[in-house]
Structures are given as C-alpha cells and as structure tokens.
Amino acid sequence: MTDAAALAPAATARAAPPRVPVLDVAGLSVQFRTRSGTVHALDEVSLQVHRGECLGVVGESGSGKSVTAYAVMRLLDPAARITAGRITFGGMDILAASEREMADLRGRELSMIFQNPRAALNPIRQVGMQIADVLVRHGGVTRAEAPARAAALLAEVGIPDPVRRAKAYPFELSGGMCQRVGIALALACRPALLIADEPTTGLDVTTQAVIMDLVLGLARARGMATVLITHDLGLASEYCDRTAVMHAGHVVEAAPAADLFAAPRHPYTAKLIAATPQPGRALSDLAAIPGGLPDLRRGDLPACRFLDRCERAEPGCAVPPLPRHLSEDGRMVACRHPL
Amino acid sequence: MTALLEVQGLQKRFPMGGGGMLPCRRAAPSFLHAVEDVSFTLRAGETLGLVGESGCGKSTLARLLARLLDPTEGSIRLGGQEIGAIPAKRFGAIPATRPGAMPSTRPGAMPPRAAIQMVFQDAEGSINPRHTAFEAIARPLRQLSRLSGAELRTRVERTAALCGLPAELLGRFPHQLSGGQKARVGIARAVATEPALLVLDEPTSALDVSVQVVILDLLRSLQARTGAAYVFVSHDLNVVRLLCDRVLVMYLGRVVEEGAAETLFAAPAHPYTRALVGAVSVPGRRKGEERVRLSGEPRSPIDPDPQACRFHGRCPIGQDLCARAAPPVHELPGGRRVACHFPLTAGAMAAA
C-alpha cells in the first residue's frame, strides 16, 4: 500500500513537517455486484493530492478513473461496495460521513466538473439561477444578492455579457459556454478540491486550451487542489504537476508529470505513450497494445492485471501481492520488472 | 490521371423555418449555411482529410459525398458520372445499369450505392443491435452485389478476415463485441462491396489509443490492397497527419485552406489552420508552451454576412478589410489554396 509521506520527495519530508494532503485515498477497493458476477473495479488504489496541486489520473476506458472520482464524491452506484481502504478529505473520513454531511460537503468543499457539460446542467432552468441555487444552498448568500453574485461568477469564467447570459438556458449556449457555466458552478463556493472528469473531451481543440487555462488558473489562484481525469496523455503532461496512470483498477504508476512522460517505468505507461499519435511520428512508429483488459469478474485475477499484455511478464508476476515500489524521487511503480 | 471524385461548388443550406403559422407572422425564411461553395478533386487511392471544429460542416460534407444528403447546389461527379443530382432517397435503389458504369476497385457492374460506402463515428449506434456481425456484413452484399448462399458466406468470411475479425466472432451480436471489434465490423460492412470511395466520419474517435493504432493500420492496409479513395473526417489532427495525403480545413462551412498534409501542418497559411495546428496537445510538452489560444466564439452559421470573412472576430491578424470583403482564394505552389486576405506565406506567394 502506498504511504502518503513516502510519495513526497524525501528531502522536503525531512526539512519541513510533512504536508497533509487535501485528499488522501488509501488502499481503496471497490466491487460491483452484477447479475453476471462481482466486478473487481478498483484494487488498493492510493492517491494523494495536496493544496494547489493538480493530479492527473490517466487511463483507458474501464481503468477505474471515474469510479475513483465517484467514490470520493460518495456518488457510487448502489450496486457498488467499498471492500477496503479509506478516503480522507481535509482530515475527515469520507466513508464514515453521514449522507447529510456529504450533502453539505459536495458543492461547498468538494466539487466536480463533468464530461458532458450540457447534460450536467438543468435543461429547464436559467444558468444564472442554477448558480444562484448553489450559492444560496452552500455559500451563505441570500436570495436577493445571489443573482448579482452569479453574474460575477460568469464574468470570472470569461463569459461575455454575463448579466444577459445568466438568463440563458443551457440549450442556448455552445458547448464551450456550457462548460464555463459548469466551472462557475463548481467553483462558486471556493471548494478545497475540484475533480474534473474529462472536462474537455467533448470540446474542440481550440476551446480545450482556453478551458484548461481557465480551470487551472483559478485553481492555482485559490490554492485549490485539482484532480484531472483524462484519457489524453498530452493534456495530462501539459497541465498536471503529478500524474497517476491507471489500468484495470490498479494505479500502475505515479510520478511527477514531466518525469513520467520522459522516462516511464511501468511497461503499460511506456506502451500508452508509444501508441499515442503525435507530430513527427508516422503510423509505422506507433505500436498498438496487444490484448485487452482482463475480465474483472474473474475470481482468480492475477496480482498484475497487465500480465497478459506484457512482454516482460514471467510466472511470478501473477503471484500476489502486487509490489508497489516507491523511489526517492517521488515515483511509484507497481511492477516486478519495471523499465 | 483523371480524378475519381470531382466536387464543384457544393453547397448545403438547411432552412430554419420562418416563424409562425399565420402568413402575417411569417418572417423571411432563414438558412443555416452548413456547406458553402466547396470544390476539390480526389484521385483513386488517395486520402483526403476534412478537419475543423464542431459545426464547421465537415460531417455534412461527408454525408453529401456519401449521398445520404441532397446538396442545395453544386455537382458531385464520381468516375465522370454526375451523382449529385440523384435524390439521396433513391440513391440506394439505383441498379447497376451499364456494365462498368460505376468505378469500382473490382471490374464489373456495380450499383452506385456499392461504389460509395461510409464508416460512421459511432460503431455501436450504427450497427443494428439485432443483427449478428455476419448479418451486418452480409446485408450490403445481398442487396447491392446480389450474392446469396455459399458465395455470400465466402465473401463475408473473406471480408471479415481482411478486417481482422476472426470467423468465430461473426455469430455474435454487437453487445457481445468490444469497441475495437465493433469498429472492425463497421469497416468490414463498408468495404464488403469493394467501393471506390470510402467516407470515414471520425472512425476512431470513440476508441482508446491502444486500439486506435490497430484500426488506423487496418484502414491503411485495406487501401493499399483495394486502391479505394478515402475521405477521412476527424477533429484530431494528430490522427489526420498519420493517414491523409491532402487536407481540407473547414471553418463555418467554407474551405479556408487546402494542401498536402505535410506542408499544411508544417507551415499553415491560414491563421485558423495555424491556431488549429497550434492547439494540438503533445505528450511531454511543458505547460502552456506554444499553445495558441483563439478568443471568442465562432459566428453564427445562420444567414452569415456574405461580405465578411467568417473567421473575422476570432482571427488574431484580422483587419478592417476582413469585415467588409469576403477573402479571395489564393493559389499557392504545390496545389495549395488558401482563402484569406492576409495569408501567412508571403514568401511562398512571391515565389509563385
């Protein structure tokens, strides 16, 4: 299991008192009960995010990125069961909190930006009113002063003519504008932690950079912690301080973003980078990753779930426990034979 | 060598409705200009990329070319034969009239629908959920190539093998297949009739990167084998760069730049192309480095001002002239065209 203090660079740990992460997910395991068997969706997932830091969580579909986010928000499907681990947010045990405490936390201290901005907004309520609702419910703002505050928030996320736009319905706004409203909504009460789940996936590349600048600019200015969930390696490398790579419910590697892309240690990370199209690479330079995710319903899942797709694998890789090597430079790799 | 596909002045306008039911409340009808005055040619075996933001008309253009939509104006000629005037509703029912009338990668008669096929973005949604993979691939062969019995089975199995689908998967339904396998079924169905033109609308955008490479490899090897021409629609420039020989960049229905993929990406001549190329994310690049930001929102495509450049207002180098006159099309060396008052290749212009 990953230790929070061990992931921080050793030097700082000695010089200053160890920083307490805003969010500490430790050894989290989640299962889903389905008609066709129990899906082992997350297995001992550990992540830490500090104040003012942006953590990227990268992985392909089915890797467990969103399940992790929903577990933190306590928004998991009723079929889900948390079988091990703990989630600590600002010193509070999220898994032990009552539904009422969670409702107070969400929107005020813990916020989320969703992949499909238009679906995340109420289609039959003016966007300004939706922001006002959050301010009244969580921000201690009175009904009378809420509209003006909502318009100010819309201005802050770069929406021109905010007083008029506050009266618009989501269908009247473009995808990029809706995502700005989503950001204004998420940041209305100055949360300590923002989870952005694929915030730019449905947007055009030209809008992508603008939205990412906006989210991370505001996050930095307010000392907020951010978790960026994405399948886009380029986006993660550009905007995150640290990046965790997930595969089939495991965090297989975590490292400062620049180091991760310059010198990946887990075979899966290396293959993911090698499969990503980028300038200067021809089709023949790219290598697909053979095979697929293992069936997570299997009762006898090997310790390393990348085993079947890995050419470095040997029989010992299947034997638990999955090693999680921590190194001095703040990197973690869950592999018996790292690169 | 003559072109396989010749498109001239293609235009598509969608009526937006004129208001109320009573005549006195009816306003002048307005139109959404989805595709405006698009012209290009495509040779057999060539791949043309269509890129641009959502709403720029690239998917509408793809559907016009695949003859799933009727153009408002303009001509589409495939192998010298005008097909733009045939209503899309009837297009699928036209039989092979004269032997060899429609171009094909396979000699012999072929109905026009068999000569143009399309691969859709959402493999999941574009395959009938109640058809097995075999049935999905067999249908076009049965209806367009008039195959049946053992002959049909052989052709389906051969096509599936060509697309990397093992025979044991052919009995499965879409929900029993993975994303990559569904993409293969979508491609196999489209190439089954051996079309001369394949229109691909974001064929890999729903796939993970690990699978995407395999599908792109498959498309390239199929093209090498069949000599089909591809029109490849994508918003992902990193993918377009891999597969396309030439690229059309669209902005609000108009082609703003056309050129060989390599030179266009290396030295964009239109300020919009430059912004698009600059916005591409690259693993390993440091924060904020050389990413280009475009301010503002695109103009409305409904009844746009014909006397202004459509990129005006977002263009970083726009001037007063751009709001008063539509930009001329400059021909640059190497078959390159750019529609801009102030293209970024002053040197290339002088050389031309």
- Do B139 and B258 reside in the same domain of the chain? no
Residue A163 included in any domain: no
Cα–Cα separations (whole angstroms), residue A120 to A20, A147, A178, B159: 32, 20, 9, 42
pLDDT at B132: 95
pLDDT at B273: 92
pLDDT at B346: 56
pLDDT at A8: 42
Residue A252 included in any domain: yes
Predicted confidence (pLDDT) at residue B186 exceeds the cutoff of 70: yes
B211, B279, B282 ranked by CB distance to A206: nearest: B279
> What average pLDDT is seen over chain A?
89
Residue B79 included in any domain: no
Predicted confidence (pLDDT) at residue A11 exceeds the cutoff of 80: no
Strand-by-strand arrangement of the B31-42 sheet = B31-42, B5-15, B73-78, B81-82
Give which of A206, A243, A310 to mutate to test B binding, by max B Cβ within 10 Å. A206
- Do B112 and B191 reside in the same domain of the chain? yes
Distance from CA of B60 to the nearest CA of A (A): 17
CATH code for the domain of B154: 3.40.50.300
Residue A166 included in any domain: no
Interface membership of B291 toward A (CB under 8 Å): yes
Contact A278 B239 (CB under 8 A): no
Interface membership of A101 toward B (CB under 8 Å): no
**Residues of A in Cβ contact (< 8 Å) with B210:** 60, 271-272, 275, 288-289
- Do B159 and B217 reside in the same domain of the chain? yes
pLDDT at B99: 44
- Angular region, B342: left φ>0, alpha ψ -120 to 50, beta rest: beta
- Do B51 and B168 reside in the same domain of the chain? yes
Count of domains forming chain A: 1
Neighbours of A25 (CB within 10 A): 25
Among the residue ranges A11-20, A185-194, B49-58, the one predicted with the least confidence is A11-20
- Angular region, B221: left φ>0, alpha ψ -120 to 50, beta rest: alpha
- The predicted-structure confidence for B119-135, as pLDDT tens digits, reads as follows 998 888 889 999 999 99
Compute the average pLDDT of residues B328-350. 80
pLDDT band at residue B350, thresholds of 50, 70 and 90?
very low
- The predicted-structure confidence for A75-115, as pLDDT tens digits, reads as follows 999 999 999 999 999 989 999 999 999 999 998 999 999 88
pLDDT at B107: 44
158-187 of B, contacting A, C-beta below 8 A: 178-180
Interface membership of B211 toward A (CB under 8 Å): yes
With a CB cutoff of 8 Å and minimum separation 6, the contacts of B303 are B30, B31, B33
- Do B104 and B134 reside in the same domain of the chain? yes
Interface membership of A292 toward B (CB under 8 Å): yes
pLDDT at B171: 94
Predicted confidence (pLDDT) at residue B104 exceeds the cutoff of 50: yes
- Do B260 and B176 reside in the same domain of the chain? no
Residue A142 included in any domain: no
**Residues of B in Cβ contact (< 8 Å) with A236:** 283
Range of the domain at B108: 43-67+89-242
Contacts of A76-83 with C-beta under 8 Å, sequence gap 24+, read A76/A30, A77/A32, A79/A32, A79/A33, A79/A34, A80/A30, A80/A31, A80/A32, A80/A41, A81/A30, A81/A31, A81/A32, A81/A33, A82/A28, A82/A29, A82/A30, A83/A29, A83/A30, A83/A31
Interface membership of B236 toward A (CB under 8 Å): yes
Residue A138 included in any domain: no
- DSSP structure string for B301-330: SBS--TTS-TTTTT-TT--HHHHHSPPPEE
- Do B202 and B340 reside in the same domain of the chain? no
> What average pLDDT is seen over chain B?
86
Contact B284 A261 (CB under 8 A): yes
Residue B326 included in any domain: yes
Residue B194 included in any domain: yes
B54, B180, B283 ranked by CB distance to A233: nearest: B283
Residue A143 included in any domain: no
- Do B217 and B267 reside in the same domain of the chain? no
- The predicted-structure confidence for A125-157, as pLDDT tens digits, reads as follows 999 999 999 999 998 899 999 999 999 999 888
pLDDT at B28: 72
Distance from CA of A278 to the nearest CA of B (A): 5
b/e burial code for range A27-58 (CB count within 10 A of at least 16 → b):
ebbbbbeeeeebbbbbbbbbbbbbeebbbbbb
Among the residue ranges B51-65, B84-98, B144-158, B278-292, the one predicted with the least confidence is B278-292
Tokens of A213: 């600048």
Residue B109 included in any domain: yes
Interface membership of A36 toward B (CB under 8 Å): no
Interface membership of A213 toward B (CB under 8 Å): yes
pLDDT at B303: 86
Interface membership of B275 toward A (CB under 8 Å): yes
Token match 């049909």: residue?
Answer: B152
Residue A226 included in any domain: yes
Predicted confidence (pLDDT) at residue A12 exceeds the cutoff of 80: no
Distance from CA of B239 to the nearest CA of A (A): 6
Give which of B209, B215, B236 to mutate to test A binding, by max A Cβ within 10 Å. B209
Among the residue ranges A286-290, B14-18, B163-167, B338-342, the one predicted with the least confidence is B14-18
Contact A234 B294 (CB under 8 A): no
Among the residue ranges A188-192, A272-276, A301-305, B1-5, the one predicted with the least confidence is B1-5
Distance from CA of B217 to the nearest CA of A (A): 7
A61, A176, A277 ranked by CB distance to B208: nearest: A61
Predicted confidence (pLDDT) at residue A201 exceeds the cutoff of 90: no
- The predicted-structure confidence for B44-58, as pLDDT tens digits, reads as follows 999 999 998 888 889
d(CA B52, CA B56): 6
- Do B193 and B313 reside in the same domain of the chain? no
Interface membership of A232 toward B (CB under 8 Å): yes
Among the residue ranges A287-296, B134-143, B224-233, B283-292, the one predicted with the least confidence is B283-292
- Do B238 and B258 reside in the same domain of the chain? no
- Do B126 and B206 reside in the same domain of the chain? yes
Interface membership of B241 toward A (CB under 8 Å): yes
Among the residue ranges B56-70, B88-102, B235-249, the one predicted with the least confidence is B88-102
Residue of chain B minimizing CA distance to A158: B296
Predicted confidence (pLDDT) at residue B23 exceeds the cutoff of 90: no
Residue of chain A minimizing CA distance to B215: A288
B54, B214, B241 ranked by CB distance to A279: nearest: B241
Residue B298 included in any domain: yes
**Residues of B in Cβ contact (< 8 Å) with A235:** 281
pLDDT at B285: 66
- The predicted-structure confidence for B293-313, as pLDDT tens digits, reads as follows 787 777 888 888 888 999 998
270-289 of A, contacting B, C-beta below 8 A: 271-273, 275-279, 281-283, 286-289
pLDDT at A5: 42
Range of the domain at A224: 4-109+191-333
Count of domains forming chain B: 2
B178, B235, B281 ranked by CB distance to A235: nearest: B281
Among the residue ranges A41-45, A52-56, B105-109, the one predicted with the least confidence is B105-109
Percentage of chain A lying above the pLDDT 70 cut: 95
pLDDT band at residue B279, thresholds of 50, 70 and 90?
confident
321-340 of B, contacting A, C-beta below 8 A: none
- Do B227 and B298 reside in the same domain of the chain? no
Contact A272 B210 (CB under 8 A): yes
